[in-house]
Structure 1
Amino acid sequence: MEEFKKSIKSQTIPLCVIDTQGSFSNIPFVFFYENTATASDFMSTESLSKSFYQTMQSFPIFAGRIKATGRGNTSIVVDANNPNMPDYTETSCDVHFDSLKESGFSWRSWPDGVATAGPMTMAGASGEIKLINVHVVRMQDNSGVAIYFSIPHYILDGVAHMEVMKYWCQVHQLMQSGQSERLAGMPVYSTDRSMIQECLPKERTPIDELTRKTFTGFSLIAELLAWISPKLRGRLLSMAIARQNTEAHLFHVSKASLESLRTTISALLPEAGDIADNELILSVAAKTLAQAQSLATGVGASPTKKEGATLPVAVIFEVREHLNMTFKNYTGNLLFPVITTTPLKMLETPTTPESLAAMISNFSETVNGVDPGLVASYVDMVMPRPSCFTRPIVRFLGSKTATSFVYDLMPDMYEADFGNGRPEWVSPIEPFRANAVLLLTNRDTTNGMDVFMTAYPSVMKEVLKNEFWCDFAKLIY
């Protein structure tokens, strides 16, 4: 830790609107490692701590504080004389790793207090918003270790989150194997947000009207949220999220389920063989949630429903590849949302090959329309409007039906190998907002993917009774 403190240099790192769009949430995952060899020095306290702070020397941004200058302009300020040190703790518990395995690693089986920061970006007990929270939990009889690893979305997205985690793993392996001299050759990562502008193409594709209206339309509440401090905003949004009392579940969609669905719709959609797995899950999940919401409210797709009633869905894309930034080691946010609406009468009808084909065709237009020119137009739209990041937050928090879907599969979290093999299990913590869907890499990367879904309890009750969804996606916990 002392070496890390000595390495800190004062600096200010400007953030941009693309960063602040996700600023209300953390990216919190828990990695479970089993001590299969019953080694006494398994992922020792000293080795994990030393390698962590060695890693932090390559990411000085994590010693900074979030500072806002009004209307959403935000920077990370690193003060060498008064750093905001990472929240790194280690505890032990009386839960044996075998118990976790027997329960399938369900949230209810976890030791108390694993998550030390929670799902929302807000100040902790120290009065500061920590920019990285790590909690190492040692299982009973040294049977294994759980590592809670959380970073605010202010700083980076899921891709960069996993890059930091893998970097720590690599540093740990080198230090443990007596190869510390190779640390100097580790990759160098950039936090320079100007890199985004440098990578924009010359062409521009028009932004759809709904996405433009969402980010540019005036909202007094949104403006106030953008003006207040990050700490106060975090506290208010955390209270709003807590009131939703959201329920979450984790499902698995196998390769066989995806292929069966393609076969089912192939007669209606000749291009079914080329439709991405993510797009199929987006269509089925959106339809399932809409049906569940309809049943939970007791309204349904009836003649009394307004003819033009729609369901807002924010489809969020990771766009490093679109901007040719895949190999630039950029640690920041590169997420691009497209706000879509689908007629509720289309969504709420029973799931048949015909209704599902219509649903997929509806979302295909959105998915296929994301190109470099569209991303560039979006950046042009939001960059001069630093306060616009709160507008979609207000819109989606004010709706009981609005849904968000992270289109791209989260990176393979099971690559986080500290030298003892892949984690036995990796999981997000429990939910932060209703009606959200996140795609996760399954431990068996050859067999489909996992789906993290949140909803209001009454809606989730209907999801769990939905015959098509339960046949398509198997409940994990």
Structure 2
Amino acid sequence: MDSEFLGAIKSQTIPMRSFDTIACFTNIPYVFFYENTHAAPDFMPTDLLKKSLYKTLADFPFLLADITTDNCGRGYLTVNADSLNLPDLQCSTSQITYGELKAQKFAWSAWPKNTVTAEFLAERDAHGRLKMVHINIVRLADNSGLILFANVHHYAIDAKGSFEFLNQWARNCAQMQVIMESLPEVRRQGSLTTRGIFRERSILATLLAHIPMDKYVSSAISALGDGTTQGHIFRIMRTTLDTLRADLQEFVPEGTRISDNDMIVALVSKTIGQSQNEACKRSWLGAAGAKLASVLGWTTDQPVELAVDTRRHLGIQGYVGGALIIQHFVNPLKEVYAPTTLEGLAKIVVRSRNTVDNIDAGVVRDYVDITEENPQYMFRLTAHSTMHGKLASFSNHSRRGRVRR
């Protein structure tokens, strides 16, 4: 079936932008649940799912590539027509019904075993290859529904692009040039904090830039631990956000727009900072280290990192590929550690809003030009994130769209 659609793919080497490197060791995994509401006997047939997958991949040849690098640390997606990096495609059945999953509110513990075939951190398969795409089709009992696990490697594409791929709204690989064609001639300075990180020399960044990309991925996974990740889910009601927005208006300049994202950035930044502060207090070593850092003037700020989708700034809403830039601002640790008040939250909200409002096509141009000057600049972002334990990083997936069938 794959040869029907993939036979015409030619070998090619696609140069990646330097700022894509920051995501080269992560995946974008999603799990979707579909109910056979009308008891259709041929509900989402496996053959059709496979056929449509390969047809879509024919328009996304870079998702059939391997990651390679040159001696300068610049990354490439290399498509070998004689040895395509085909997706890890698995199909299985389960004795669990859709109704049982729904009754458990789709809790992870209720999922069929082996539903997830790729973790957040990218790992090599049994043959030593990093797959760009993982698909697992799990057919539920009694033809009651289907679980679709879909993962795309973050180096080749971002969350918006992954949804475009999954929805088969794909363009072809030539669209990867759209960003450069859409940039204005005049550049404008973006976040001073981000620029400072780019210009700051780093031995770690220099070392990372000279590690082959596949080794860099393995090193990143090792540095982050055993390859597992943990997180928390917070549910914030719409009425709560609306009430908080109204309460914050008293403490921000008149006319300031307060978005949901701004408030979430403020709330989570405070939560992270205060939890880290409490952890230091409970450890004599942590307390001593914090005191020494204070005396020496180290880590007096909490850097906040925002991943910004630039499609609307460049007018390329249909673009598939990486269109994220990173912009930073900083919160003084004294503010973050202090008890949460409306006034304290408002200060972070204003910083977040000013950072986002400052972004336009000229800022994107500036970001691209700086990162293209030297691949090491993006590694400086990675090194900064690695070395700075107080960093708070944010990415919004709420506008990425829905997968349709």
Tell me if both proteins adopt one fold, taking TM over 0.5 as the criterion: yes
CA distance in 2, matches of 1:47, 1:101: 25
1:324 to 315, 339, 342: 315
Query: Given residue 204 of structure 2, which amino acid in structure 1 is its aligned partner?
Result: I
Match of 1:310 among 301, 305, 308: 301
Which shifted more, 57-66 or 265-274?
265-274
Alignment of 1:411-450 (within 5 A): 411-413=400-402, 416-418=403-405
- Residue 89 of structure 1 aligns to a residue in which SS? strand
Instruction: Determine helix, strand or coil for the equivalent of 2:167.
Output: helix
Q: Shift of residue 270 of structure 1? A: 5.6
Structure 1 outlier segments of 4+, above 6 Å: 299-303
Report the CA distance between 1:38 and its aligned residue.
2.8
Helix, strand or coil for the counterpart of 1:253?
coil
Q: Distance in 2 between matches of 1:95 and 1:394?
A: 45
Q: Could you tell me how far apart the structure 2 residues matched to 1:80 and 1:354 are?
A: 59
SS at match of 2:41: coil
Which residue is 2:167 aligned to? Answer: 166
Q: Does residue 243 of structure 2 align to residue 242 of structure 1?
A: no
Query: For residues 255 and 125 of structure 2, what CA distance do their matches in structure 1 show?
Result: 48
Match of 1:252 in 2: 235
Q: How does 1:166-245 map to 2 (within 5 A)?
A: 166-167=167-168, 188-243=171-226
CA contact (8 A) 1:86 1:132 kept: yes
Q: Which residue does the alignment assign to 2:58?
A: 57
Code of the aligned partner of 2:44: M
Deviations 1:94-135 (A, max 9, x none): 333223222222223222222222112332223211111111
Cα separation, partners in 2 of 1:19 and 1:257, compared to 1, 3 Å: same
- Once the two structures are superposed, residues 54-92 of structure 1 have per-residue CA deviations (whole angstroms, 9 ceiling, x without a partner) of 222222222222111123212222222222212211122
**Counterpart in 2 of 1:21?**
22
Equivalent-residue separation in structure 2 for 1:70 and 1:117 (angstroms)? 30
> Could you give the per-residue CA deviations for residues 308-328 of structure 1, whole angstroms, max 9, x where no partner exists?
6111111111101111222xx
Q: TM-score when scaled to structure 1?
A: 0.77
Q: Does 1:262 align with 2:253?
A: no
Deviation at 1:245, TM superposition (A): 5.9
- Secondary structure in 1 aligned to 2:7? helix
Report the AA paired with residue 189 of structure 2. P
Q: Is the 8 A contact 1:156 1:332 kept in 2?
A: yes
- Picking from 253, 266, 271, the partner of 1:288 is 271
Matched, 1:358 2:347: yes
Q: Aligned partner of 1:406: which letter?
A: S
Structure 1 gaps, min length 5: 168-185, 419-477
Q: 1:133–1:94: structure 2 CA closer, same or farther, 3 Å change rule?
A: same
Distance 1:394 1:260, change over 3 A: same
CA 1:339–1:274: 2 relative to 1, 3 Å: closer
Contact 2:30–2:151 (8 Å) recurs in 1: yes
| CA-CA distance at 1:388 after TM superposition | 2.5
Q: CA shift at 1:16, angstroms?
A: 1.1
Q: How many residues align?
A: 396
Any residues of structure 2 matched to 1:385-404 within 5 Å, and which? 385-404=374-393
In the alignment, the residues of structure 1 paired with residue 116 and residue 396 of structure 2 have an alpha-carbon distance, to the nearest angstrom, of 26
| Percent of residue pairs identical | 32
3-state SS of 1:136 partner: strand
Task: Give yes or no for contact 1:24–1:120 (8 Å, CA) kept in 2.
Answer: yes
Shift of 1:243: 4.7
Query: Does structure 1 conserve the Cα–Cα contact (< 8 Å) formed by 2:135 and 2:149?
Result: yes
Query: Residue type matched to 1:140 in 2?
Result: A
What is the CA-CA distance between 1:271 and the residue it aligns to?
4.1
TM-score (normalizing by structure 2):
0.90
In the other structure, the counterpart of 1:124 is 125
Higher alpha-carbon deviation: 99-108 or 39-48: 99-108
Residue 187 of structure 1 and its aligned partner are, at CA, apart by 6.0
Structure 1 Cα separation of the partners of residues 329 and 231 of structure 2: 23
SS of equivalent residue, structure 2 residue 224: helix
Shift of 1:395: 2.2
Distance 1:353 1:200 in 2: 39
Distance 1:154 1:381, change over 3 A: same
Residue-by-residue CA offset, 1:5-52 (whole Å, 9 max, x unaligned): 322222222211132221121111111112222333211211111121
* Aligned residues of 2:6 and 2:54 also touching (Cα < 8 A): no
SS at match of 1:312: strand
Match in the other structure for 1:106: 107
Mapped contact 1:191–1:332 kept (Cα < 8 A):
no
CA contact (8 A) 2:262 2:353 kept: yes
Aligned residues of 1:13 and 1:75 also touching (Cα < 8 A):
yes
Please name the residue that 1:338 is paired with: 327
Aligned mates of 2:228, 2:116 — CA distance in 1 = 18
The one-letter code sitting in structure 2 at the alignment partner of 1:317 is V
Any idea what SS the aligned residue of 1:75 has? strand
Q: The residue matched to 2:78 in structure 1 has which SS?
A: strand
More helix per residue: 1 or 2? 2
297-306 or 133-142: bigger deviation: 297-306
- Maintained 8 Å contact 1:315/1:337: yes
How far 1:335 sits from its partner (Å)? 0.7
The equivalent residue for 2:84 is 83
AA matched with 2:72: R
1:68/1:229 contact within 8 Å kept: yes
Cα contact 1:13–1:192 (8 A) shared by 2: no
Q: Report the CA distance between 1:145 and its aligned residue.
A: 1.3
Q: Per the alignment, do residues 237 and 33 of structure 1 end up closer, same or farther by CA in structure 2, a change over 3 Å counting? A: same
